[in-house]
Amino acid sequence: MAVRTTQSYVTTLDIGDGDVRVTQVYTTVLTRDIEIILPLSNSLGLENTCGIPTFASIENDFNLTQTLEHNFITLDISNSLGLSADIGLDYTEDIIQYLGWTPRTIVECSNSMFSEDNEAGVFVVRAISDSLSNTFGFSDDLIQAYNATNSLGLGETLTAQQMHDLFNQFSLVAAVTSEDTEYEREMSQGCLKQHLTFTITGAKCVEKDYRPFVGEGGDPAYEAINTTPPTLSTGTLTLTYPFVTPTTTLVLKNPALGNTSVFSRSAVHRKTRGGDDVVAADPSWPTTEVQTLVIENICEADIDAVIEFLNDTLGQKIGLLDWENRQWSGVVIAPQSDIIQAGRDQWTFTLVFDGELE
């Protein structure tokens, strides 16, 4: 391999033993006085030396269309550029006459993408990455070229699990500038239709079976019934706030008889076509217990204390120690209940409490 050039370009090209290394940015202009004899392929090592990340940058840096015109370049110029890792360019035999491109490109991107093509320059891109967001920008500026044809076809077949984003942007810019008016130039742009086929192989939604028989192996929420009866003793209705480490305590009379406890839960009743009666419920569905307590015959001072307590704890979790000495925690859900004066210094009010037994 031999390279001959004028002395003025020595500073630009580092000529080694059979190799040529470009050590500067490729703004070098090779004039007709320069005669380059092949192969330039591996010796130039453009890929590693320049670190050019994109196809467009390589093209602009080297000014290939102008620089290489009418010089003595062999037909293997594509290999001589050595862009195969990022962009491999094959020049046809007509390159000396037309300086036109019929590129055959192989692109391997760092984000696990690779593409391959055929002789027509059509891309076949496959993605095997988790996220796919690619932007291809081609800007061709060919001078003194008779034919400039860009054809980009992306056919993607994506098989993804839990794909979040898919974003493709195509930017095709082709510009042909020629001073030769002898032939009519054509410029065409075409974008092939893109088809995407998604195959969801991962099931994100877990099927829930709301009707295993209670106690069966398929019932993860099985809870054995508590066969130990609760211990009841005598207590006095006491409200405390906050529930944890209370600072406010209100002691009241025990409620009158007729107090109610309403235990509600959500369940679905269905009759199947086969005649079975189905009861279904997810144990995670909420259950509530609302107690309605009527406290009678309390004096006005106590009523004032009740009103003050309700105002201070509105919507807050309070503690309730009932007349059976059982501790509850919950919220007063009807603070607007009427407080009735039944007689002289005799007041009655209703406490509606939604809570759970601690």
φ, ψ (nearest 5 deg) of residue 226: -85, 115
Of 154 and 293, nearer to another protein (C-beta) is 293
Buried/exposed 272-306: b ≥16 CB within 10 Å, e otherwise: eeeeeeeeebeeeeeeebbbbbbbeebeeebbebb
Q: How far apart are the first and last CA of the chain?
A: 91
Separation CA 162–CA 164 (nearest Å): 6
Min dist. Cβ of residue 321 to another protein (A): 17
Of 195 and 269, nearer to another protein (C-beta) is 269
| Residues pairing with 280 in the sheet | 268
Min dist. Cβ of residue 224 to another protein (A): 8
Of 262 and 301, nearer to another protein (C-beta) is 262
Separation CA 67–CA 73 (nearest Å): 11
Segment (H or E) for 55:
helix 55-62
Question: Which residues neighbour 145 within 8 Å (Cβ) at sequence distance 6 or greater?
Answer: 65, 98, 99, 100, 101, 176, 178
Residues at the interface with another protein (CB under 8 A): 213-216, 223-226, 229-230, 232, 257-265, 267, 269, 271, 275, 277, 279-281, 283, 287, 290
Cα within 13 Å of Cα(287), Cβ side: 12
- Residue written as token pair 């050019």: 52
Of 242 and 283, nearer to another protein (C-beta) is 283
Of 56 and 333, nearer to another protein (C-beta) is 333
Separation CA 81–CA 70 (nearest Å): 17
Of 199 and 227, nearer to another protein (C-beta) is 227
